[in-house]
Chains A and B, each alone.
Chain A
Amino acid sequence: RKEVEQDPGPFNVPEGATVAFNCTYSNSASQSFFWYRQDCRKEPKLLMSVYSSGNEDGRFTAQLNRASQYISLLIRDSKLSDSATYLCVAERPGTYKYIFGTGTRLKVLA
Chain B
Amino acid sequence: GAVVSQHPSRVICKSGTSVKIECRSLDFQATTMFWYRQFPKQSLMLMATSNEGSKATYEQGVEKDKFLINHASLTLSTLTVTSAHPEDSSFYICSAKTVNTEAFFGQGTRLTVV
Contact = CB atoms under 8 A, between A and B. Distances in A.
A34 interface: yes
A43 interface: yes
B105 A103 contact: no
Contacts of B106: 43
Contacts of A45: 105
A84 interface: no
Interface string B77-114: 00000000000000101010101001101111010000
Interface stretch (B11-19, B42-50, B62-70): B42-50
Contacts of B110: 41
Most buried by A among B36, B44, B46, B103: B44
Contacts of B103: 96, 98
Given A46-B1, A103-B43, A95 B105 contact: no
A87 B102 contact: no
Given A34-B102, A46-B102, A49-B102, A98 B93 contact: no
Nearest to B31: A96
Interface in A52-110: 87, 95-103
Contacts of B32: 96
Nearest to A32: B102
Interface residues of B, number: 23
Interface string B5-43: 010000000000000000000000000101010000011
B44 A87 contact: yes
B93 A43 contact: yes
A42 B38 CA distance: 11
Nearest to B45: A100
A103 B105 CA distance: 16
A95 B108 CA distance: 22
Given A43-B107, A46-B1, A95 B49 contact: yes
Nearest to A46: B102
Interface of B: 1, 6, 32, 34, 36, 42-46, 49, 91, 93, 95, 97, 99, 102-103, 105-108, 110
